[in-house]
């Protein structure tokens, strides 16, 4: 913090030369310290007590932000590494990212609001308005991502800031100007396409993907950004609406012939199916190319899963009609993870205490339920977590997968669970478990009414399923050969799979 200096002419940020000297003397060995230091300089730069003209603030802010950007990218890549950082380092990296995005966003917001109010020196950066608004949107999107990876309650002012940046660009008639966001960037963008991509990312995946997959989705949408745009009028490829007058989360177009106010802006997505289709063809060859611009070497299978999620969203132009929900108040016992569920449902292994807690259900539908967990709850619940569920007075355990997480204004955690089955049964499979060729290993058989005759869904330990291996199973005194059909989903500690059951002749079995 530099505001203690009383002589404005001696302030280190009073001219570009002394500001550059500050940067030159920064220790470059720790990216977190660099970002923290530059963030505080930005705070000092826009402090009204220092009475810097707006054009001077623009010149220095641009210099500071340009210098910080390589360190910001390094932190982003380390945070979203294929192998997650240790907990202490994760918290340190997240705090540095979030703080810097906040400082730079407020710096650029200060400039456009100062220009709007006719502040001293505002005429000196008219040629830089597009860059100011684009970098402001970039910083705001960074804060959105920092909140999303923590499933945290979003600061509603962020939507107001995004609206301010875009509105100012429209007023200045520069929303479609091509620009390089930072020095060394290989691609150009516009304020219009940048805002549309941020809205599309938020609407398509936030709250429904893991933190790492959220980031991959953001990178992939960034690659499609040139086909995105924001417009004043409804277009054929319009997908989302965003109100500049009352900013909030973007909404899907309803397609019901609604009349929209003049303050409404439309996010247009072009033809993402073409890009995603070509991407999936490349990934099917186990190739992750530099052109994908991911910054980190992710596996082809991981990227393909995210690409398929985006394709499913963009292919459906209208809002998905969800099954009717019914309000209900009940408590369910919860098991967290595959192995706890095996332990609870296996009579021989049951230690009677793997229950991780009780959740209060708020509403249910034909294929899912929503629980609200109190403020401060963190636990180990994440997108993709496998959970066992046993309602009050129920005799059997059911199973589901956490599909959505969000926090409300009271910081309560809303957990959306897709129900796979209302009843599971512990079984033992015999064959190859992925490591040993002739072993018994546990699985959970899902009771699914209405499934095709002879087909069974099962949960198994992760990396156990193979399309080339057929284990055997004994159930209700009968022996079955299980012919593999498909791997439905791969989780952190489980494989969800489909088999075709074929009854085997058991006449030669020994009797006990």
User: Tens of pLDDT along 13-53?
Assistant: 988 999 999 999 988 899 999 999 999 999 999 999 888 99
511 within domain boundaries: no
pLDDT tens column, 45-60: 999 988 899 999 999 9
Q: Are residues 115 and 52 in the same domain?
A: yes
Q: What is the rounded average pLDDT for all residues in the chain?
A: 88
Under the banding of pLDDT at 50, 70 and 90, the label for residue 2 is very low
Residue 349 has pLDDT above 60, yes or no: no
CA nearest to 314, candidates 235, 237, 214: 237
Among candidate residues 82, 65, 34, the one with its CA nearest the CA of residue 138: 65
Residue 5 pLDDT class (50, 70, 90 cuts): very low
Residues 33 and 165 in one domain: yes
- 372 and 482 belong to one structural domain: no
Query: CA–CA separation, 149 vs 210, rounded Å?
Result: 7
b/e burial code for range 118-135 (CB count within 10 A of at least 16 → b): ebebbebbeebbbbbbbb
CA trace torsion 276, 278, 282, 284 (10° rounding)? 70
Which residues, listed in sequence order, are joined to residue 102 by a DSSP beta bridge? none
Return d(Cα 169, Cα 173) in angstroms, integer.
6
Q: Are residues 413 and 470 in the same domain?
A: no
Q: Which of 368, 389, 421 is the last residue of a domain?
A: 421
Residue 3 included in any domain? no
Query: At which of 390, 421, 452 does a domain end?
Result: 421
Say what percent of the chain tops pLDDT 90: 59
Q: For the domain that residue 347 is a member of, what is the CATH number?
A: 2.40.10.220
User: Do 255 and 330 fall within a single domain?
Assistant: no
- 3-class state of residue 389 by DSSP: strand
Domain boundary among 275, 292, 315: 315
Q: What is the CATH number of the domain that holds 484?
A: 2.40.10
pLDDT tens-digit readout, 286-331: 988 888 888 888 999 999 999 999 998 888 655 555 667 888 888 8
The mean pLDDT value for 165-192 works out to: 94
Residue 1 located in a structural domain? no
What is the extent of the structural domain holding 133?
8-315
Tell whether 379 and 483 lie within a shared domain. Answer: no
Q: Are residues 394 and 370 in the same domain?
A: yes
Do both 304 and 348 map to the same domain? no
**Does the structure show a pLDDT above 60 at 351?**
no
**What span, in angstroms and rounded, lies between the C-alpha atoms of 181 and 73?**
13
Q: Which two tokens stand for residue 97?
A: 């990212």
Residue 36 counted as domain residue: yes
Tokens coding 448: 């699914």
Give DSSP secondary structure letters for 336-362. Answer: ESHHHHHHHH-TTT--S----EEEEEE
How much is the average pLDDT of 265-279? Answer: 91
pLDDT at 511: 40
In terms of Cβ atoms closer than 10 Å to its own Cβ (0-12, 13-18, 19+), residue 413 is: buried
Report the interhelical angle of 211-223 vs 272-283 (nearest 10°): 120
In a domain, 490, yes or no: yes
Query: pTM (2 decimals)?
Result: 0.85
Task: Determine, yes or no, domain membership for 320.
Answer: no
Domain assignment present for residue 414? The answer is yes
- 373 and 243, same structural domain? no
Q: DSSP E strands: which ranges in 257-356?
A: 264-268, 326-336
Residue 393 reports pLDDT greater than 50: yes
pLDDT tens-digit profile of 68-102?
A: 999 999 999 999 999 989 999 999 999 999 999 99
- pLDDT category at 4 given cuts 50, 70, 90 is very low
pLDDT above 70 coverage of the chain, percent: 90
- Considering the domain architecture, whether residues 344 and 434 belong to the same structural domain is answered as no
> Within this chain, do residues 118 and 219 fall inside the same structural domain, yes or no?
yes
Residue 512 belongs to a domain: no
Rounded Cα distance between 275 and 294, Å, is: 15
Dist. CA 388–CA 400, nearest whole Å:
6
Lowest mean pLDDT among 58-62, 89-93, 118-122, 451-455: 451-455
Count of Cβ atoms closer than 10 Å to residue 458 Cβ: 24
- pLDDT of amino acid 407: 84
* Residues 343 and 272 grouped into a single domain: no
Could you give the maximum distance between any two Cα atoms of the chain, in Å? 98
Q: Provide long-range contacts, Cβ within 8 A and 24+ apart, for 83-89.
A: 84/212
Structural domain total, the chain: 3
Q: pLDDT tens, 394-413?
A: 888 999 999 998 888 788 88
């Amino acid at each position: 913090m530099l505001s203690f200096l009383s002589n404005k002419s001696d302030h280190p940020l009073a001219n570009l030369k002394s500001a550059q000297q500050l940067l030159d003397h920064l220790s470059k060995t720790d990216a977190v310290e660099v970002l923290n230091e530059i963030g505080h300089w930005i705070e000092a730069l826009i402090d009204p007590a220092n009475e810097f003209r707006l054009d001077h603030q623009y010149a220095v802010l641009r210099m500071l932000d340009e210098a910080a950007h390589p360190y910001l990218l390094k932190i982003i890549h380390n945070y979203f590494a294929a192998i997650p950082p240790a907990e202490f380092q994760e918290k340190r990296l997240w705090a540095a990212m979030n703080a810097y995005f906040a400082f730079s966003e407020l710096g650029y917001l200060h400039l456009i609001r100062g220009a709007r109010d006719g502040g001293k020196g505002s005429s000196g950066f008219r040629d830089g308005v597009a860059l100011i608004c684009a970098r402001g949107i970039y910083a705001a999107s960074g804060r959105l991502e920092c909140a999303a990876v923590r499933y945290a309650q979003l600061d509603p002012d962020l939507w107001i800031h995004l609206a301010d940046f875009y509105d100012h660009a429209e007023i200045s008639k520069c929303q479609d100007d091509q620009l390089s966001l930072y020095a060394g960037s290989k691609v150009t963008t516009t304020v219009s396409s940048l805002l549309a991509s941020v809205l599309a990312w938020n609407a398509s995946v936030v709250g429904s993907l893991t933190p790492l997959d959220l980031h991959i989705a953001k990178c992939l949408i960034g690659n499609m950004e040139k086909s995105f745009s924001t417009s004043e009028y409804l277009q054929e490829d319009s997908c989302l609406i965003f109100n500049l007058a009352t900013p909030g989360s973007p909404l899907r177009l309803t397609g019901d012939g609604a009349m929209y106010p003049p303050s409404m802006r439309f996010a247009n997505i072009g033809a993402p199916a073409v890009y995603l289709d070509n991407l999936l063809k490349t990934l099917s060859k186990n190739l992750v190319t530099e052109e994908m611009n991911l910054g980190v070497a992710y596996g082809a299978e991981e990227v393909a899963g995210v690409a398929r999620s985006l394709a499913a969203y963009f292919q459906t132009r209208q809002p998905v009609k969800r099954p009717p929900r019914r309000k209900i108040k009940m408590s369910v016992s919860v098991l967290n993870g595959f192995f706890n569920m095996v332990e609870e449902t296996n009579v021989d292994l049951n230690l009677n205490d793997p229950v991780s807690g009780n959740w209060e259900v708020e509403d249910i539908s034909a294929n899912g339920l929503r629980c609200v967990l109190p403020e401060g709850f963190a636990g180990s619940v994440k997108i993709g977590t496998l959970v066992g569920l046993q309602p009050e007075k129920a005799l059997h355990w059911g199973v589901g997968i956490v599909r959505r997480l969000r926090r409300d204004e009271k910081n309560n955690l809303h957990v959306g669970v897709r129900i796979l089955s209302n009843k599971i049964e512990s079984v033992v499979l015999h064959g190859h478990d992925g490591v040993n060729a002739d072993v018994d290993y546990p699985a959970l058989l899902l009771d699914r009414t209405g499934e095709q005759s002879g087909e069974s869904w099962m949960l198994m330990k992760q990396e156990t399923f193979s399309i080339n291996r057929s284990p055997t199973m004994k159930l209700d005194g009968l022996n079955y050969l299980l012919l593999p059909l498909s791997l439905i989903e791969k989780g952190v500690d489980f494989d969800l799979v489909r088999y075709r059951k074929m009854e085997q002749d058991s006449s030669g079995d020994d009797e006990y």
